[in-house]
Structure 1
Amino acid sequence: MKFTVSWRELLLSAAFFVLLFVWYSWPLAAQFTTAFAGVAGNDANQYVWNAYNFHRAVAEGSSPFHTDLLLYPQGSSLVMHTYTPVIGLLNVVLNQEILAVNVALLLSFVLSGVGAYRLCRRWVANPVLCALAGLVFAFSPYKLAHLPEHYHLLLTAPVPFYIYAFLEAFGFENGRLWPRVRRWSQVLLCVGLGLVALLSDYYTLFGLIYFSAGYALYYALRLGQVNWRQWRPWAVLAAVLVVSHVASRLLNKARVFDNDGFWWGGDVAGYLLPPLNSRWLSTAATEALHRNGRVFNTPGSVENVMFLGYALLLLTLWWLVRGRRHSALNDQRADQPGGALPWLTLLFVMLTLPELRVFGKHLLRLPTGLLHYVPFINNIRCPTRFVSMVALLLPIVLFAALDPWLRTRLQPAARTAASLGLLLLVALEFQPQAPPLIHAADVPRVYQVVAQLPGDVLFPVPFGLLDGFHKKGQPDPSDLFYQTRHHKKVPGAYISRLPQSTFDAFDRDPVMHHLLTLQDHPNTVLAAPSAAAVATFLRVYHPAAFVVAPAFRHTPVHQYLRQTMLPLGYRETAIGNYVLLQR
């Protein structure tokens, strides 16, 4: 039976998720236009810059997917950058980048919850359990752990609406891979939501692709008709696991490029340990395990977080032992295509664990790990991020069994009370510590002065390049936020996917090479670039100013700038703890 949802229900659920957002992100709601979640020097700064650059490009009539604000003078493409164009489009309307990122996050959290509520109601009559499904998907500890760093991973709103539309759009038959179209309007909606996912985050987009392909394979391989009480299916499963493990090991020995997908892969411990920012569950013992290099390749990183709470873990054990017989997903009729959801939940768990690792012990390379050897697809190299799909599908699988089980045992009032108690328990399990905030007032005063200077180019010290794979110099992500205030172009970049030639170009300019070397290795003895090299540098970059950060004052790179630029007409001023050299 498919349950319908009223607009009143959806509006009430939206109000509930707004309150949750305010609670979990507080005090952000009190500073919505002047602060954003993040820490100085981390990735959060780039999303404010993304919104700023997108609006600036549109206002100037230029392509928002190319910028000369970074890597001046040649600029850079932003096609492969973690760019979140949906936030940029919102900023075209709002014209206030901090407000734009906060509104985008609010909308995504709320719509993610509403969409999961609506999808869950397809099989579950109990609205409280559906609200809990929305809470788990929209506010999973994985997402709340990434809130101060990776906004693109939080833009999950299209996912549950896409899945609902997908189920409405297509009909599948056992033994056939290609479905029949039931409703073309829903097909078009799937395409539109896929486009929104593309403009939000490529992990979200690939989650939808894997869901669609996995759903089709479920019917093509007749997985719903397998009799697991016989020995043959288990023999086939064992053979698949052995072959995939051996094949993966052979590819690894042959040095086939996996883009570090296995290195970034998850550990079962990530499902069991609460994140470091957990308000009530994080302890000295769990924090020590998080930071243990023998358990995780990246100790203390948010990329290890796959925790979904102990209440859901216990419900999962109950479902495996007794709950499956009660599930509303057992109905395999064409209008009830939910039988694939447990299989898809398992698929996404396997995607997070390309190699089955338990507290640092390597046990088995899973078939999903072979995807990391496929060119282009292996750019999806942080597999733990697919836990967001687990957070959507697992509660639906569990509650489709729990709801009828409760109906046969409890009266309506007791059933509602039990459901509310479970919702409150999970809400407390998920509660994070207050997120750190970056405030507009945190921008050093020197950049207010720089904004008033004539000229287009600023050289901050330190500076450099970082694209997620390679690093040259010392790029500071905070410079991206500062640029939204001083509006000057800069020579460095903190940006995704740069060609090696861009890194090499930094060393070809004698002055740039000299600055980077003194910045990174201050004790190096170098011959100063010639006067002709300095003249060429000034002609190419024509810097209006140099800003030396406090940690670099009176270091060799600062002394070189002073010795070289002051005789050429620059003057030096101390502004707070910073040094400004300006024309």
Structure 2
Amino acid sequence: MDPAGRVGPEHASDPAQGQFFLAHAVRVVTEGRYPFFTDLMNYPDGVNLMANTSMYGLTVPMVPVTMLLGPPVSFAVMITVGLAGTATAWYFVLSRHIVSSRLAAAVGGAFCGFCPAMLGHGNWHPNIVSQFLVPFIVWRVLVMCRPGPRPVRDGLILAALVVYQVFINEEILLFAALASGVFLAIYVAQRRELLRPAWKPLLAGLAVCAVVAGALLAYPLYVQFSGPQSYSGLKEAVPDHGNDIAAYFNAGSTTLGGDAEANKGLAPNYSEENAFFGWPLVVLLVVTVAWLRRDVLVRSLAATGLIFAVLSLGEELRWRGHDLFPGPWALLVHVPLLDSVVPTRFGLITSAVVGVLLAVATDRALTDRVAEPQRRLRRRAWVAALLIALVPLTPLPYREVGRPPVPAFITSGQWRPYVAPGQTLVPLPLPDLGSSDGLRWAASQNLEFAIPRGYFLGPRNGVDGDPGGFGAPPTVTSTLLNRVASSGQPRSVGEETKRRVEDDLRYWNAAIIVLPVEHRRADPLRTTVEEILGPAQRVDDVWLWDVRPLTTR
């Protein structure tokens, strides 16, 4: 009800970044701004938007909503459409191509769209929960294996889906490709007679897709991997981001049967709960696979889901925080492309597979032709089992907390006389991984002013091609003020530090420094900055330092 004033209790930086990208999409559409790089964040070095989750496949269609209702509302709409759209897309594909019962398709689609893994990302990552193209991508790959091949047509359709998915989230596209490849390999290994008639049309269709999609994506991917502020791999930025084995046996924190306290330590953080099926569902899956073990589809799905569940455990397998032994991911983490994957997210693949398994099993229970008393008993038993397994996973409203409003000094436009084009407005605390209010300030003003630093992925040392990390490399100013903001204690500043801070302000071409009066660390931050730059002036609801005389010499 209040997207601008409420946010999830952790990782508020992700929604702020999403709002920034929504505002940037408006400028791309209405002003023709370059879409793949911006210096409006992390000025003057900028941010490689292809190497970040700029989500143009979502933010561009949302431009009318963003312009009419603002980035916070637009962000909430993206989340809603992403979750519901994913469930609907899976229902559509399942009901038309996999199962005959619409109820079975609804069970599978609902789980794929609203399973604990999707809910875990829902308050933060619209690019992750917007998987509505994934079932169509997977289905088009499978279609290529059928008799009567039309490789050009099929390849063109798949290429269109692939290109669009790249501009939603590349990691999810990689997951869809890996899952499709693993599933097909397992399926064909059990039915080898299918290989001969299938491999030629499949390769032909994939070749057409690769040529067309490759041509369309060549320049954006060049910018991503070789352009300014590009980076190589995220292993050091997300170390040890795997699931605990026990995570699969607990219910998700955002579900009826979940317990956020009990789940602590079983996932990298609250926004990465990519498992959390709960004991009842795990037992039901084991029973289901045993019941339908003669079905090659069920066996292939089960093996695919299990493989990615194991990979989601990361480099070191753990049980409730206790290290057991290295996992298979340790052998793959340095492979190109895979070195940018967050391993816990392989649980998203397992979750989608579970949704399809539930749909197939429900369809078998409802439609298998057996004697009437046995049929009635099977239906009732299956419905009861589904309720026992899935009711604890019923989604609950997200936990939320208040966040500071954008200062009236910003929303009223009082900043405008101070900040000329090419200059920056420096928010305090400085925009960083744990402090993203400045991104919301800029988004609220349609990015009409630039900010230094920010929350983004870039080369850790600021050198193109270095390993990736979060935010800009530390400077004297950022280190000093971050310590003050985290500790709540002002710091004494020597002459050398003062000179280094002034150098940073010149590098950022800063016009003004802005600190909200009501910020919980306002007093120590104000005291520290005043020791460097002299007294602040009170303007409306902020403390202001006009540093133009210093930076425009």
Normalising by structure 1, report the TM-score: 0.71
SS in 2 for 1:497: strand
What letter matches 1:291 in structure 2? K
Tell me whether 1:106 sits opposite 2:80 in the alignment. yes
Distance 2:501 2:302 in 1: 65
What letter matches 1:72 in structure 2? Y
Q: Which residue of 2 is the match for residue 389 of structure 1?
A: 349
Distance 1:77 1:395 in 2: 35
SS in 2 for 1:447: helix
Q: Which residue of 2 is the match for residue 119 of structure 1?
A: 93
Contact 1:87 1:101 in 2 (8 A): no
Distance 2:481 2:13 in 1: 24
Aligned counterparts, 1:481-500, within 5 A: 481-486=440-445, 487=447, 488-500=449-461
SS in 1 for 2:131: coil
Distance 1:506 1:367 in 2: 34
Q: Which residue of 2 is the match for residue 360 of structure 1?
A: 321
Q: Call closer, same or farther: CA 1:166–1:144 in 2, change over 3 Å.
A: same
| Cα distance, 1:477 vs structure 2 | 1.8
What letter matches 2:491 in structure 1? N
| Cα distance, 1:214 vs structure 2 | 1.5
Q: Which residue of 2 is the match for residue 69 of structure 1?
A: 40
Tell me whether 1:136 sits opposite 2:111 in the alignment. yes
Q: Which residue of 2 is the match for residue 318 of structure 1?
A: 287
CA displacement 1:46-96 (0-9 Å, x = unmatched): 111111112123323221221222122332322211222222212334334
Q: Call closer, same or farther: CA 1:63–1:482 in 2, change over 3 Å.
A: same
Q: Call closer, same or farther: CA 1:260–1:213 in 2, change over 3 Å.
A: farther
Contact 2:515 2:543 in 1 (8 A): yes
> Residue 55 of structure 2: which of 84, 91, 114 is its match?
84
Contact 1:303 1:385 in 2 (8 A): yes
Distance 1:395 1:132 in 2: 7
Distance 2:238 2:500 in 1: 47
What letter matches 2:293 in structure 1? R
Tell me whether 1:434 sits opposite 2:397 in the alignment. yes
Distance 1:204 1:259 in 2: 21
| Cα distance, 1:209 vs structure 2 | 1.7
Tell me whether 1:148 sits opposite 2:123 in the alignment. yes
Distance 1:129 1:532 in 2: 64
Q: Which residue of 2 is the match for residue 237 of structure 1?
A: none
Distance 1:342 1:141 in 2: 19
Tell me whether 1:371 sits opposite 2:332 in the alignment. yes
Distance 1:39 1:444 in 2: 21
Contact 2:128 2:172 in 1 (8 A): yes
Distance 2:248 2:452 in 1: 42
CA displacement 1:26-55 (0-9 Å, x = unmatched): xx5xx6x86775348342221111111121
> Residue 189 of structure 1: which of 136, 139, 157 is its match?
157
Q: Call closer, same or farther: CA 1:124–1:516 in 2, change over 3 Å.
A: closer
Q: Call closer, same or farther: CA 1:154–1:35 in 2, change over 3 Å.
A: farther
Q: Which residue of 2 is the match for residue 4 of structure 1?
A: none
| Cα distance, 1:166 vs structure 2 | 1.4
Q: Which residue of 1 is the match for residue 491 of structure 2?
A: 523
Q: Which residue of 1 is the match for residue 201 of structure 2?
A: none
What letter matches 2:544 in structure 1? L
Tell me whether 1:479 sits opposite 2:447 in the alignment. no
Q: Which residue of 2 is the match for residue 579 of structure 1?
A: 543
Q: Which residue of 1 is the match for residue 247 of structure 2?
A: 270
Distance 2:330 2:236 in 1: 12
SS in 2 for 1:373: coil
* Identity score, percent: 19
What letter matches 1:265 in structure 2? G
SS in 1 for 2:54: coil
What letter matches 2:537 in structure 1? R
Q: Which residue of 1 is the match for residue 363 of structure 2?
A: 403
What letter matches 2:338 in structure 1? I
> Residue 303 of structure 2: which of 318, 343, 353 is its match?
343
What letter matches 2:91 in structure 1? Y
Distance 2:378 2:267 in 1: 44
Contact 2:251 2:278 in 1 (8 A): yes
Q: Which residue of 2 is the match for residue 458 of structure 1?
A: 425
CA displacement 1:489-534 (0-9 Å, x = unmatched): 2112111123413788763xx7777666766774354226678984
Q: Call closer, same or farther: CA 1:535–1:135 in 2, change over 3 Å.
A: closer
Contact 2:99 2:105 in 1 (8 A): yes
SS in 1 for 2:523: coil
What letter matches 2:14 in structure 1? D
Over the aligned positions, Cα root-mean-square deviation in angstroms equals 3.9
| Cα distance, 1:160 vs structure 2 | 0.8
Distance 1:116 1:376 in 2: 27
Distance 1:536 1:391 in 2: 47
Q: Which residue of 2 is the match for residue 282 of structure 1?
A: 258
What letter matches 1:462 in structure 2? P
CA displacement 1:177-204 (0-9 Å, x = unmatched): xxx9545323222222222221112321
Q: Call closer, same or farther: CA 1:528–1:83 in 2, change over 3 Å.
A: same
What letter matches 2:153 in structure 1? S
Counting matched residue pairs gives: 483
Contact 2:409 2:415 in 1 (8 A): no
Q: Call closer, same or farther: CA 1:436–1:109 in 2, change over 3 Å.
A: same
Tell me whether 1:55 sits opposite 2:22 in the alignment. no
SS in 2 for 1:453: coil
SS in 2 for 1:170: coil
Shifted more, 155-164 versus 530-539: the winner is 530-539
Q: Call closer, same or farther: CA 1:497–1:533 in 2, change over 3 Å.
A: closer
Distance 2:32 2:179 in 1: 38
Distance 1:365 1:512 in 2: 37
Contact 1:128 1:420 in 2 (8 A): no
Shifted more, 135-144 versus 313-322: the winner is 313-322
> Residue 407 of structure 2: which of 436, 439, 444 is its match?
444
Q: Call closer, same or farther: CA 1:111–1:34 in 2, change over 3 Å.
A: same
Normalising by structure 2, report the TM-score: 0.75
Distance 2:414 2:173 in 1: 38
Contact 2:252 2:393 in 1 (8 A): no
What letter matches 1:214 in structure 2? V
SS in 1 for 2:111: helix
Contact 2:86 2:129 in 1 (8 A): no
Q: Call closer, same or farther: CA 1:492–1:359 in 2, change over 3 Å.
A: same
| Cα distance, 1:114 vs structure 2 | 2.2
SS in 2 for 1:116: helix
Tell me whether 1:38 sits opposite 2:8 in the alignment. yes
Shifted more, 406-415 versus 128-137: the winner is 406-415
Distance 1:310 1:319 in 2: 14
Contact 2:179 2:304 in 1 (8 A): yes
CA displacement 1:531-564 (0-9 Å, x = unmatched): 8984994586141342256233332x42354355
| Cα distance, 1:159 vs structure 2 | 0.9
Contact 1:39 1:148 in 2 (8 A): no
Q: Call closer, same or farther: CA 1:392–1:537 in 2, change over 3 Å.
A: closer
SS in 1 for 2:544: strand
What letter matches 1:434 in structure 2? P
